[in-house]
Amino acid sequence: RAGGPVVFVLVGEDRVERRSVTTGGFYPAGVEVSAGLAAGEYIIVRGHADLVDGAVVRVTEADGALPERGVAAAPGVAAEGAL
């Protein structure tokens, strides 16, 4: 992607923010992000191809279930595309 690597970070309960990141190592389980994210932030890992900054999303667990309100989701939090 032009301008370097970016991710979409969940802001609030249902919006995303496009953010530039610095990557480190590449591993079988994923890519290390060495700068641009804070501990505890959620990134969109599925359904992000058509997202734009500020898009409204529906957050689900990796298995498609909706996470319990107020409970931290397991790794694999995803967006089901822009709503």
Q: What does the pLDDT look like over 29-47, one tens digit per residue? A: 888 888 998 888 888 887 7
Please list, in sequence order, all residues whose beta carbon lies within 8 angstroms of the beta carbon of residue 33, skipping any fewer than 6 positions away: 7, 21, 22, 23, 24
pLDDT value of position 41: 86
Contact criterion met (CB below 8 Å) for 67 and 21: no
Q: Is the pLDDT of residue 20 over 50?
A: yes
Residues contacting residue 55 through CB under 8 Å, at least 6 positions apart? 8, 15, 16, 82, 83
- Give pLDDT, residue 74: 38
What pLDDT was estimated at residue 61?
A: 72
pLDDT of residue 18: 93
pLDDT confidence tier of residue 65, bands split at 50, 70 and 90: low
Tell me, yes or no, if the pTM score tops 0.75.
Answer: no
